[in-house]
Structure 1
Amino acid sequence: MARASVLVVLVVVSVLLYTSRVAESAAANSGSTSFIKAKCSATRYPALCVQSLSVYASTIQKSPKQLAHTALTVSLAKAQSAKAFVSKLGKIKGMKARELEAVQDCLEEMNDSIDRLSRSVQELEEAGKSKGQDFLWHMSNVDTWVSAALTDDNTCVDGFAGRALDGRVKASIRGWLVTVAQVTSNALALVNQFAAKN
């Protein structure tokens, strides 16, 4: 009987400890999510910003640098996914010659965008280790490369201008690239917020 009582006490204590840890974790994530919402409110696409970054609240916590880093990483991942999609589209048989040319041009722009976003993620890491003029130089590079990546995304979409290219290929690519451009725009805003605070 005494063993059963000890076992019940141990179970109750374990449940209480687990519940308090879950509550602490939820409170920390709630604070992190509030931080993300506040920072995202200054971006061009705040709802998308919150949606794409809230899942990383436990990593971001309340760090402007980690928020900027995560936003760049999300942008890079979206760009890589979009490139994979556009690459598959380029292999569809029966595509009009002009559509195929636009898809190939788009892939070049996306390669450039991915390269610039990759370099930006690395450069932000270097900025985090720097101070003063070195910090500003690294952040200037990040700003330049993210802006150029955004231009690449928009150039790809522009390559499908005109009614001759209207159709499913254009609509599909545009859908992917609009999202990439929006998360990249948000990442740029968050990078600039981080730079301004240091």
Structure 2
Amino acid sequence: MALSRTTRIRNPALFICDLQEKFRDAIYEFPKLIPTTSKLLLAARHLTIPTYVTTQNRARLGDTIAELKPHLTGAHIKADIDKTLFSMITPEIDTLLPKPAAGGEPIDAIIVGIETHICVTQTTLDLLSRGHRVYVIVDGVSSVNPEERGIALARLRDAGAIVTSSEGVLFEMLGDAKHGAFKAVSGLVKDSKEETKAALEVFSKI
């Protein structure tokens, strides 16, 4: 697990877990997840980061929320699937990921969504068990019961995941103010600074 704790992001992939209509009124501070996720999705487009999106039992729980749908187009969207598994690492998505055990380069999986202690946890553990690194975005995950967040994040840290912030991973992926996408991504950060502050004020208390 030392590698996952100490290595900088070099092969990012974005995972958007089950941000669906039926969860709006149930999940703790759900509205604050939306700007975090939108910011990461827009950055993923600018940086051409492979992006994986899931819904849980879409027929019953609704589609991905309307605010995110405009951002789910482009060649970098590698999967947008419905599932019954709690983990995002379904057979369909698993086939799309590199296999470190067979010599593939591990991904740096950046994950946002719900619920922290169920689908986010199981996705993270599955990715770690396959040899990938995982970055759980503290201002991008929540649960029905807020107390579940802290319990889950502590477990995931112990398992080898990194718990960090959306702004932190964005600038780590850029790495240099000379990066071709710096202006676009730093603009996203600037435009969403108030929403980011509000999300951190709630979600960083773990």
Bin the TM-score by the shorter chain: 0.3 to 0.5
Q: Which one has a larger percent helix, Structure 1 or Structure 2? A: 1
